[in-house]
Amino acid sequence: MKILVPVKRVVDYNVKVRVKSDGTGVDIANVKMSMNPFDEIAVEEAVRLKEKGVATEIIAVSCGDAKCQETLRTAMAIGADRGILVETTEELQPLAVAKLLKALVDKEQPQLIILGKQAIDDDANQTGQMLAALGDLPQATFASKVEVSGDKVSVTREVDGGLETISLSLPAVITTDLRLNEPRYVTLPNIMKAKKKQLDTVKPEDLGVDVKPRLKTLKVSEPPKRGAGIKVPDVATLVDKLKNEAKVI
């Protein structure tokens, strides 16, 4: 079984993001970048499926500029067999990424596509669902457990009322949640091995996809600073402030 794992290069989750002075976006100049944590979980799950003998090949895919090769090399160090970079300098929005992935799915014919439920930069939570719709594939989002048996995959997902387990026919799309697994530590020998693995580069036009942005960001701003808390002497004062100052009751 072949597994396709899309990975995204984002600002590292340890970095405090700063908004550009002109409000046009987030400042990423000289900022540490890394693989989206949810995508890291997706790569780990694919590797575990391969270690169980379920999968035979794992293909990591990234869309963006040439620096995304670093993210693909990280995925290959975790255990992906080869990488594909869809190289473009355009600002990629979820629909454009989904169309690029759909073109690669048609080309590679994977039985399973595993990707993070969302990227921590835009928090869109759209690409997996859009890919499933474009490819007319069954989907399971927010997976906390994945089990493959024959041509079926059983996915446990967290919902408001508890846990929901659904069964999908392959090929299928799965988006990963935080509790699915704990990604392994990438060792130096595996980093060195990853440098020798195959990494192909294609352009969006090679896949016949128009990636021009359809949405325009009008303004990006930081959230307002929270005011300092206060102490009240008794419950009556608290109720009075909630009613007359905060106006929440």
For residue 138, being part of any structural domain is answered with yes
For residue 180, being part of any structural domain is answered with yes
**Cβ-Cβ contacts under 8 Å for 173 (sequence gap 6 or more):** 113, 115, 128, 131, 132, 135, 137, 138, 139, 140
For residue 249, being part of any structural domain is answered with no
Structure tokens at 134: 């474009």
CA distance 109 to 239: 62
pTM of the model: 0.85
For residue 164, being part of any structural domain is answered with yes
Other CB atoms within 10 Å distance of the CB of residue 183: 17
Q: How many domains, the chain?
A: 1
| pLDDT digit string (tens) for the chain, length 249 residues | 999 999 999 999 888 888 888 888 888 888 899 999 999 999 999 999 999 999 999 999 999 999 999 999 999 999 999 999 999 998 899 999 999 999 999 999 999 999 999 999 889 999 999 999 999 999 999 999 999 998 999 999 988 888 999 999 999 999 999 999 999 999 999 999 999 999 999 999 999 999 999 888 888 888 888 888 889 999 999 999 899 888 888
**Closest of 95, 100, 131, 82 to residue 206, by C-alpha:** 100
For residue 168, being part of any structural domain is answered with yes
DSSP 173-201: EEEE-GGG--PPPPPHHHHHHHTTS-EEE
For residue 235, being part of any structural domain is answered with yes
Identify the residue whose tokens are 């024959």: 150
Whether the Cβ atoms of residue 221 and residue 21 lie closer than 8 Å to each other: no
Whether the Cβ atoms of residue 20 and residue 27 lie closer than 8 Å to each other: yes
Structural domain span for residue 180: 2-244
What spatial distance separates the first Cα and last Cα of the chain, rounded to whole Å? 57
